Each structure stands twice: as C-alpha cells, then as structure tokens.
A and B are shown apart, each in its own frame.
Chain A
Amino acid sequence: MDGADLFLHGLTVALQPHNLGYIVVGCLLGTVVGILPGLGPSAGMALLIPIVFGMDPTSALMMIAAIYYGAMYGGSATSILLNTPGEASSVMTTLDGYQMARNGRAGAALAVSAIGSFIAGTVGIVLLSALSRPLAQFALQFGPPEYFTLMVFSMLSAASLGGRTVARGLLSMLIGLVIATVGIDLQSGMPRFTGGFPQLLDGVDFILAAVGLFALSEVFVSLEDHFRNPAQLIGIKGRLWLTREEWRRSVGPIIRGTAIGFVKGVLPGGGATVSTMLSYSLERALSKDKAKFGTGMIEGVAGPEAANNSSAAGSMVPLLALGLPGSGATAVLLGAFVILGIQPGPLLINQHPEVFWGLVNSMYVGNVVLFVMNLPLIFLFVQLLRIPTGILFPLVIAIASIGVYAVNGSVFDLYIVFGFGLLGYAFRKLDVPTAPLVLALVLGGMMEQSFRQSMTISGGDLSIFVSSGLAILFLVLSVLALAAALVVPSLLKARGGRVFVEEAADV
C-alpha cells in the first residue's frame, strides 16, 4: 500500500463505530480534564491508562490521544470565566481572556478559543501527516545547548509581561526561579530545599502555583471586594458571538499562533505552555496597542489558544516518527504505548501502520468532534457568569481542589495551592504581577538542567552555546527581544512620539 492508501485505511479505522465512540469519550474526558484546574492532560491520560489496559491498542491510543488534544480545548473555559487556568497551557489565556469576560465579552473569548483551536489543531494534523519524518529529523538537532538558548529566549520574552514596573516583574520572576530549585537536583541527585518533606522531592509542580496564584487569589481578592461593596454580576455585552471586528483582529494571531505552536511542539522542552508564552509575546510585540494587553485584547486569547492546539499536534511528530517524546504529555502517551505492548520507535510506521495512521486520522475526527461539542458548550459556560458570588467562589475552590487532589491523591498538594493562594493575594495587594512567577517556575527547572547538561558535555566551555546555528539563532532572538523591551520605548520617548503608558497594561 502506498501513502494515500494507508492514509485512507487509517481513516476507515478511525471511523469504525467503536473507535468513533472511543474518540468521542476521549474528547469528552479531555474537555473535563481541561476544565478541571490542576488536572492537566498528562495527569488525565495517566489516570486513564489503567482503564484501557488490555484494550485493543489502536482504540485505546485514540481515546488517550483525544484526552490530550481535548484538554487543549477545555482549558480555556475556566481561564476566561474564572481566571483559573484549567491546565498549564491556558495560563496565558487568563491574562486577556478573563479581562474580556469582565468587559462582557466572555462569549467572544470562548468562541475565538474554539475557532482558533479548531483551525490550529487541523492545520497541525495536516502537517503531522504530511511531514512527520523530515520534521522529526530536524527535532534531533535539538540538544541541551539549543534547549538552553530557547529557554533564555522564552524567559526574555516573558519578561515583557512585567506589569507596572520592571522591578516588580523581576521580583516575581526571581521568586519563581527560587521555587524552581526545590527538589532532587537532577545532575547531582541531591535533594535541595525540601525541608525534609518527601512530597517536595520532585519539586513544586507549577500547576499548583498557577491554581493558587491565579484562581485562589482571585477568590480572596473578590471576596474582599464583595464584603466592601457587593459586586454586580458580569453581564454579557453585545452579541455572544464574535463581532466582525473581533474576527478581523483574530485571524492574524490564529495563523501565527498555529505556526509557533506547531514548531515548538515538534521541538522538545516545555511543550504547549512555552508556545503560548511565545505567541502571546509576539502578538503583544506586533500590536499597535501594546499597553492594552492585559485589559482584554482578543489577540492575546486567539494566539495562545491556537498555539497550544497546534503544539499538541506538533508534539506528536517526534513521538510517532521516532518514538521520542519531547514533552511531559507525550511522555505519558509513550508510556501508554509501552503499557499496551507497543514499543514506539523509528519503525512504528512500518511495523504498525494501522496504529500510526489510525491515530493520526482519529485526530482529524476528534478535532471535528471537539469543535461541534464546544460550540453549544459556550452557551452553557457563559451561564456560569450568572452564578452569584456566594455560590461561585466555593465552587471554584471545590473544583480546583478536586482537580489538584486527583493528580497525586495528595493533601500536601492542597496545602501548597493554599499557600500560593495567600502569596498571590499578597502579590496583588502589593501590585506585583503573578504571571512571571509561574512562567519562571515552568522555565527555571528546564533552563538550569539544560545549562548544566551543556556544561557537562562541553567540560565547562561556554562556547557550546554558539556551536550550532540553532543555538545562535535563539541567542540573536533573545538579544532582539531584550532590545525591543528596553530600547524601543526610550527611542520613542526621545523622539517625542506616541508613548503608551505601561501602567495601563497592569491588571
């Protein structure tokens, strides 16, 4: 059979009634996993593995993969409506999505997430099925030095999210980096800053920080507001759907987000979350209204939401073509393969074509299922905004606690979330932005490890970071990002041109 035959055969496999059923179930579960804060796609898939043990591998993998990309759709809902990222790659969505909801545009934010996700997901899968082999070879060029320079670039891009002053942003980021050092140090094998708690040996999961800093602190702050002057409910202004103007503004971010997400997905490290950060930073850099980011810009929702979906498709490239997962979620998927008795590797496509093509085609089907499923959900979700504060906040805390607890069954994790909630409350009162802390926590660990891996490989010679074209490229981009953040505003000021007041960007 040649390529086209195999592809069509895969489609018929994916469309068999029982497989279709598994895809729908997987999409539903994925949406739930995405919505539950704390419970991300990795944990969601891991929880399902025991259930599929002994099932037909193709069907089982279709269902588990559906949880992965389904979570990318679901994660946006709570980010937008409750300022609670449903999973890691929705952290960026909270920045402008929640503000959109507060401006009465929750429906539009949800709609653009669904549309962006669908477009990005579908484009990502087309690229996956057409180009997986050559792209996977490209991903192999990515060693520790490239990894490190990419992290530097991501970190500098994220620094632009500083908020009111650079110093406040840096403070938040540094605290994040400090927290990122907790746990067993990979290169020496020694526990660091664990205070004797075995639960901290693996470090502090940044999703715990995200749920605490975003969701709980939001609850605390709103509670205070509520007692001071009972808030009116956020209504919906204008149409529930996107306006023509909003759609026009979203097309570019969706296209760029799709591209960034897919490329980042193919490359190892950070997965979907880093791609959303890069997409958000890019949209902010390209926008004429930089200062308005963080106040409900639809570009800041459309780009990252597209990026996390195409990133999910992109991350399947090295997994399926080489058997080498580049992210936490695909590592779990690799585990699912192994547990179902299939060892993925460079020969997967030849040895198990029905698994490969069945899985790829199930993703096309799953994307359509998710899109169709999510549109009516928007109408349902926006009703959440009608729930009175007294019921909504306990609900947020309950949902967040369930999600966090489900991952490890650990009460300790709940204490950590609560601690971050208090920290987030203090941050807000002191006007320190919380996003840099979470992003530093995501990037810090990986950055340190890849730096030290590079140093071991080179024997302490820093020139390893300019030893490959890719590494140099990321370093140049880093310098440009830094220049854009520092030099451009002062140049504008010197010329007396229009200067956007950075303060307005603060949330």
Chain B
Amino acid sequence: MFIRNPLKGMSRQAMGLLAAAGVLAAFSAPAIAEGWKPEKRVEIVLGVSASEGLNRNARLILDWLVKDGTIPPSSVVVNKPGGGHALALTYTASQVGSGETIQLVNTPLITNNLLGRSPITYKDFTPIALLYDETVVFSVPSKSSIKTAQDLIDRLKQDPSSVVFSTATGLGTVQHIATLALAKGVGVDIKGGKLKTVNFSNGNAEAITAALGGRIDVVVSSPQPVLPFVQSGDLRPIAVASRERAGGFLADVPTWKEYGIDSVIYAWRAIVAPKGLTPEQIKFWDDTFAALVKTPAWEEEVKKSDLNPRYLNSADTAKFFENENKRYADIYGGLGLDVAKQQ
C-alpha cells in the first residue's frame, strides 16, 4: 500500500548469495547486505496489557506493516504489562542486536529511571522514531462552581486546598507535572502539602467516576477518556497544558500559557529498538516509520484519536530523548521530585 521497499529484491539477492557462499560467508553478511529486512517474525513489544489504549496503536502498526509486506506475516504484538512499562523495557533492552524487536513506549522510558524505579535508561535503546504526542487536558464537572481556567486560578490563589485534582496513575506522570507546574505558576507552595493531587489505579475511569460523584474537582488526563463525557455534557474542558491550542473538540479550550502560566507538557509515544543494531537495521526501521506516518490511514487514526502528529526520525529522536531527559530531570528537581538524586 504505502511502502514499496526498493531493497526488497536486493535482500532476496543477498540471501541467495549468502546461501551460496555458505555459513562462513554469513559472518561477513553486513558487508554484502546493504539492504536489511526482517526475515524472522517481528515482535512489537508493549508495556501495557492488550486492553489498554496504546494497544490499539501497536495493533494498527502491526496490521499495516504486515499487509504491506514490510514485516513477515507471523509478526506479533507482545504484551508485557507490569511496573509501568518496566518489564517490557527490560525485555527489549535484553534483545541486544535483534533487528526483529521494537517497542512502542511512552514517557516512562525516561521517567522510570529519573524517579528511581528502574536502572534502565533511554540510553539502553536504539531510538527509531517519535510518532505523536497527546495533549494534557484539565476538565471539571459541568456542575462545578469552577467554570473557566480563570476560576481555577482564582480558587488556587484563594485556597489551594479547596481544589482536589486527579492526576492519573501516579507521581511524576505528565498529568502530575502539568498540575504541579500550574500550581507553581499560580504561586502555590507545592512543597507545603497544600496541593491535593489524588491518584487512581484504574487511571481515568476511576477519576472521572469520582469527579462526577463530586469527590474530585479537576480531572487531568489525555483527551480521549474525557471526550464522551464532554459530548454528553457531564465534563467541561477548561484548559490544556500545550504550547498552542489543540484541535478537535479542544479547539476552543485555552492554554495555560494564555494565562501566563508555564505549564507545557506532552505525553509522547516513541518506537525504540534494542542496542547493537547494524546501521542497515536502523535504516530499515527508520525508513519504515518515516513512510508509515505519511500514509492516509495513519493520519486518519491520529486525527480520530485526538493525537498530535509529531514525527521525528531516528537521529532526531535520539536528540529528543536527550533533551527530554534533561528537561524532566530539571522539572523533577524544581518540583521537589528529584528522587533519583535522593537515593
């Protein structure tokens, strides 16, 4: 459909050569095969269970790449949930030199290590691509006395402990950081224990339940989980932690920047591979995703899911990770969350 891999024929030729040259020649294969292509089944590793949103993206990527003939039909998505992507990252990092293993991962790639949860860092992987990011949106129940972003700012200034935030599934998540940054921008003493942020294990569903039941004042989340409740009129998005206004149903929702508050953060999704890949293997995956993000099917899915397209190639993703790692370390330090250093 979209990728007509020019190296496909070459690869077969190379294989033929290899077969003819025998086993010994195989060890010098990289010199011959300038085009590499996975011949074994590809594993797309995922750190969440099959029931989570990220899984849909992984399945779609698998579907598209298999239909196109880019990867063998026996390829699979491997779900290794646990420890906030930690188990899956450990697994992928251990597949050193395997061109047939890639992982779809999000911010825990960087935050797990900074928060002292895992010794594995982004440096243990070969960056392949940055795919997209998600807006962090602040929503309130419609019957709340907080109607606008300004109302929330005023309430926080008046009495920060009168507002209860839900910040998804844990400390140090992008939702949590966005909330802390908002509070800091308003002038709340975030280390003083005045700010109330609650975490829920089932993430957004429990948080929305608690908000509709009046226990939570502000739900901080990605756009998709709140969309049905915004459509039904139960929740109202009041602000986004973005550089500029988001699209879709959030088009009219102001950014915190518009109120002079420096709360800008995105939840991104990237593809990484193990260390020790040959340049040909890296080039294969780099080309594959460069082509994938240009397909209409991809663009449609990104639009439908309220994601922001943000493609970066392998080299740029490497720089991006480095910058993000530094930025998060600074943010955690500034917010009093520099746990890794404390240990």
Decide if B87 touches A198 in the complex (CB within 8 Å).
Answer: yes
Decide if A335 touches B50 in the complex (CB within 8 Å).
Answer: yes
| Interface membership of A241, Cβ < 8 A | no
Decide if A335 touches B52 in the complex (CB within 8 Å).
Answer: yes
Query: CB-defined interface of A136-163 with B at 8 Å, one 1/0 digit per residue?
Result: 0001111111000000000000000000
**Chain B residues near A187 (CB, 8 Å)?**
171, 198-199
Q: Considering only CB atoms and an 8 Å cut-off, how many residues of chain A contact the other chain? A: 54
Decide if B51 touches A339 in the complex (CB within 8 Å).
Answer: yes
Decide if B82 touches A324 in the complex (CB within 8 Å).
Answer: no
| Interface membership of B201, Cβ < 8 A | yes
Given A184-B84, A409-B80, is A142 in contact with B59 using a C-beta cutoff of 8 Å? no
A142 to chain B, nearest CB (A): 7
Decide if B227 touches A346 in the complex (CB within 8 Å).
Answer: no
A348 to chain B, nearest CB (A): 8
| Interface membership of A191, Cβ < 8 A | yes
CA distance A428 to B342 in the complex (A): 44
Decide if B231 touches A345 in the complex (CB within 8 Å).
Answer: yes
**Chain A residues near B218 (CB, 8 Å)?**
none
Report which of A45, A202, A334, A346 forms a contact with B82, defined as CB distance below 8 A.
Answer: A202
**Chain A residues near B90 (CB, 8 Å)?**
198
**Chain B residues near A314 (CB, 8 Å)?**
none
B339's nearest neighbour on chain A, judged by CB, is A190
Decide if A457 touches B82 in the complex (CB within 8 Å).
Answer: no
Decide if A457 touches B209 in the complex (CB within 8 Å).
Answer: no
Given A46-B49, A268-B206, A346-B229, is A186 in contact with B117 using a C-beta cutoff of 8 Å? no
Given A189-B170, A198-B90, is A46 in contact with B84 using a C-beta cutoff of 8 Å? no
Report which of B51, B213, B232 forms a contact with A45, defined as CB distance below 8 A.
Answer: B51
Decide if B50 touches A140 in the complex (CB within 8 Å).
Answer: no
| Interface membership of B109, Cβ < 8 A | no
Contacting A at CB under 8 A, from B51-74, are 51-53, 55-56, 59, 63
CA distance A352 to B229 in the complex (A): 15
| Interface membership of B315, Cβ < 8 A | no
Decide if A459 touches B196 in the complex (CB within 8 Å).
Answer: yes
Report which of A46, A145, A198, A347 forms a contact with B51, defined as CB distance below 8 A.
Answer: A46
Decide if A338 touches B53 in the complex (CB within 8 Å).
Answer: yes
Contacting B at CB under 8 A, from A295-352, are 318, 322-326, 331-336, 338-339, 341, 343-348
Decide if B210 touches A143 in the complex (CB within 8 Å).
Answer: yes
Pick from A54, A331, A336, A345 the residue with the most CB of B within 10 Å: A345
Contacting A at CB under 8 A, from B109-152, are 115-118
Decide if A186 touches B199 in the complex (CB within 8 Å).
Answer: yes
| Interface membership of B205, Cβ < 8 A | yes
CA distance A202 to B209 in the complex (A): 23
**Chain A residues near B199 (CB, 8 Å)?**
186-187, 189, 453
Report which of B49, B55, B232 forms a contact with A345, defined as CB distance below 8 A.
Answer: B232
Given A189-B115, A408-B81, is A184 in contact with B205 using a C-beta cutoff of 8 Å? no
Decide if B228 touches A334 in the complex (CB within 8 Å).
Answer: no
A328's nearest neighbour on chain B, judged by CB, is B202
**Chain B residues near A457 (CB, 8 Å)?**
164, 196, 198, 215-216
Decide if B117 touches A184 in the complex (CB within 8 Å).
Answer: yes
CA distance A187 to B173 in the complex (A): 12
CA distance A45 to B49 in the complex (A): 11
Decide if B51 touches A49 in the complex (CB within 8 Å).
Answer: yes
Decide if B77 touches A199 in the complex (CB within 8 Å).
Answer: no
Decide if B215 touches A143 in the complex (CB within 8 Å).
Answer: yes
**Chain A residues near B215 (CB, 8 Å)?**
143-145, 457
B307 to chain A, nearest CB (A): 14
**Chain B residues near A49 (CB, 8 Å)?**
50-51, 55
**Chain B residues near A323 (CB, 8 Å)?**
205, 228-229
Decide if A343 touches B171 in the complex (CB within 8 Å).
Answer: no
Decide if B202 touches A456 in the complex (CB within 8 Å).
Answer: no
Decide if A335 touches B83 in the complex (CB within 8 Å).
Answer: no
CA distance A350 to B205 in the complex (A): 20
Decide if B172 touches A189 in the complex (CB within 8 Å).
Answer: yes
CA distance A201 to B89 in the complex (A): 13
| Interface membership of B86, Cβ < 8 A | yes
Decide if B171 touches A338 in the complex (CB within 8 Å).
Answer: no
CA distance A150 to B86 in the complex (A): 33
A167 to chain B, nearest CB (A): 32
**Chain A residues near B117 (CB, 8 Å)?**
184, 189-191, 201
Q: Considering only CB atoms and an 8 Å cut-off, how many residues of chain B contact the other chain? A: 54
**Chain A residues near B234 (CB, 8 Å)?**
346
| Interface membership of B212, Cβ < 8 A | yes
| Interface membership of B288, Cβ < 8 A | no
Decide if B205 touches A186 in the complex (CB within 8 Å).
Answer: no
Query: CB-defined interface of A402-418 with B at 8 Å, one 1/0 digit per residue?
Result: 00000011000000000
Decide if A199 touches B231 in the complex (CB within 8 Å).
Answer: no
Report which of B86, B196, B224 forms a contact with A343, defined as CB distance below 8 A.
Answer: B224
Contacting B at CB under 8 A, from A164-210, are 184, 186-191, 198-199, 201-202
Contacting B at CB under 8 A, from A45-62, are 45-47, 49-50, 53-54
B215's nearest neighbour on chain A, judged by CB, is A143
B174 to chain A, nearest CB (A): 13
CA distance A412 to B123 in the complex (A): 26
Decide if A186 touches B169 in the complex (CB within 8 Å).
Answer: yes
**Chain A residues near B115 (CB, 8 Å)?**
189
**Chain B residues near A144 (CB, 8 Å)?**
198, 210, 215
Decide if B59 touches A339 in the complex (CB within 8 Å).
Answer: yes
| Interface membership of B197, Cβ < 8 A | yes
Report which of B197, B205, B224 forms a contact with A456, defined as CB distance below 8 A.
Answer: B197
Query: CB-defined interface of A436-478 with B at 8 Å, one 1/0 digit per residue?
Result: 0000000000000100010011010000000000000000000
CA distance A293 to B206 in the complex (A): 36
Decide if A347 touches B228 in the complex (CB within 8 Å).
Answer: yes
CA distance A322 to B232 in the complex (A): 10
Decide if A324 touches B205 in the complex (CB within 8 Å).
Answer: yes
**Chain A residues near B49 (CB, 8 Å)?**
46, 332, 335
| Interface membership of B200, Cβ < 8 A | yes
Contacting B at CB under 8 A, from A268-289, are 268
A318's nearest neighbour on chain B, judged by CB, is B209
| Interface membership of B240, Cβ < 8 A | no
**Chain A residues near B164 (CB, 8 Å)?**
456-457
**Chain B residues near A341 (CB, 8 Å)?**
56
Report which of B82, B198, B201 forms a contact with A408, defined as CB distance below 8 A.
Answer: B82
**Chain A residues near B13 (CB, 8 Å)?**
none
**Chain A residues near B224 (CB, 8 Å)?**
338, 343
Decide if A331 touches B202 in the complex (CB within 8 Å).
Answer: yes
**Chain A residues near B196 (CB, 8 Å)?**
456-457, 459
**Chain B residues near A202 (CB, 8 Å)?**
81-83
Given A143-B213, A335-B50, is A345 in contact with B87 using a C-beta cutoff of 8 Å? no
A43's nearest neighbour on chain B, judged by CB, is B49
Contacting A at CB under 8 A, from B80-105, are 80-84, 86-87, 90
B79's nearest neighbour on chain A, judged by CB, is A46
| Interface membership of B182, Cβ < 8 A | no
**Chain B residues near A140 (CB, 8 Å)?**
209, 212-213
Given A54-B63, A186-B170, is A201 in contact with B51 using a C-beta cutoff of 8 Å? no
Give 16 pairs: A residue, B residue, CB < 8 Å, sorted on A: A140-B209, A140-B212, A140-B213, A184-B84, A189-B170, A191-B117, A201-B117, A335-B53, A338-B52, A339-B55, A339-B59, A347-B228, A347-B231, A409-B80, A453-B200, A456-B197
Nearest 7 Cβ contacts at the A-B interface: A345-B228, A335-B51, A201-B83, A189-B171, A143-B215, A346-B232, A332-B51
